[in-house]
A and B are shown apart, each in its own frame.
Chain A
Amino acid sequence: DAEITQSPRHKITETGRQVTLACHQTWNHNNMFWYRQDLGHGLRLIHYSYGVQDTNKGEVSDGYSVSRSNTEDLPLTLESAASSQTSVYFCASSVGSEAFFGQGTRLTVV
């Protein structure tokens, strides 16, 4: 079955380190998204992509970057991790009106 997977599921990193969260989907969807979810804020859009070589900033993009070199993958990079980036990160892909979410990555920055 087609799916969307995120790795790692849990990560602890130190302030200032570069961190990359992986997202891989096998549906061949053009549209992919990264969200973060925090208590009191709900899900907020970080970056999104319409297709290969396309990336766009979302509501809370500062400190994050993405690249899209193929249809299947949209890795999210935290250039210099900060404690404010401790969160649960969800990747999603979509076709038409329905977005499918990965299982999430819980990132803790200490």
Chain B
Amino acid sequence: QKEVEQNSGPLSVPEGAIASLNCTYSDRGSQSFFWYRQYSGKSPELIMFIYSNGDKEDGRFTAQLNKASQYVSLLIRDSQPSDSATYLCAGRWGGGADGLTFGKGTHLIIQP
């Protein structure tokens, strides 16, 4: 059974601080991982994906993958109130055509 686990939160972070979101997964066979942001009542939007061990940076966002520990994280630097949303971690076990297995999401609140 392929599972992705996230703490549902809420995670409260002061504006300007680093928000750290974490995710673990059950099956070592996953090829790639994705972080989506979802505002209340809206559809998920892709922030970034990662498939190699280590860090991947894109602007204020850094994704980290540790396949040995089956752990994925997303760091948001200089957090802004507009970053307040639910963050969904997802894994893909298979090729590019396969669907994603999502975690339940972490609700992030950035306090002004």
Contact = CB atoms under 8 A, between A and B. Distances in A.
B86 to A, nearest CB: 9
A44 B102 contact: yes
Nearest to A51: B97
Contact of B43 (A45, A58, A59, A104): A104
Interface stretch (A19-27, A74-82, A94-102): A94-102
Main secondary structure of the interface of B (DSSP, over half): loop
Contacts of A90: 43-44
Contacts of B99: 33, 35, 45, 48, 58
B87 to A, nearest CB: 11
Given A90-B43, A98-B49, A99-B46, A45 B101 contact: yes
B97 A102 contact: no
Contacts, number: 54
A71 B46 CA distance: 23
Given A90-B43, A90-B44, A104-B43, A42 B97 contact: no
B32 A97 contact: yes
Interface residues of B, number: 21
Contact of A94 (B43, B96, B102, B103): B96
Interface residues of A, number: 26
Contacts of B101: 45, 59
Nearest to B32: A97
A42 B43 contact: no
Interface in B97-112: 97-105
Contacts of B45: 101
B102 A43 contact: yes
Interface of A: 30-31, 33, 35, 40-45, 48, 50, 58-59, 90, 94-104
Interface of B: 32, 34, 42-46, 49, 51, 88, 90, 96-105
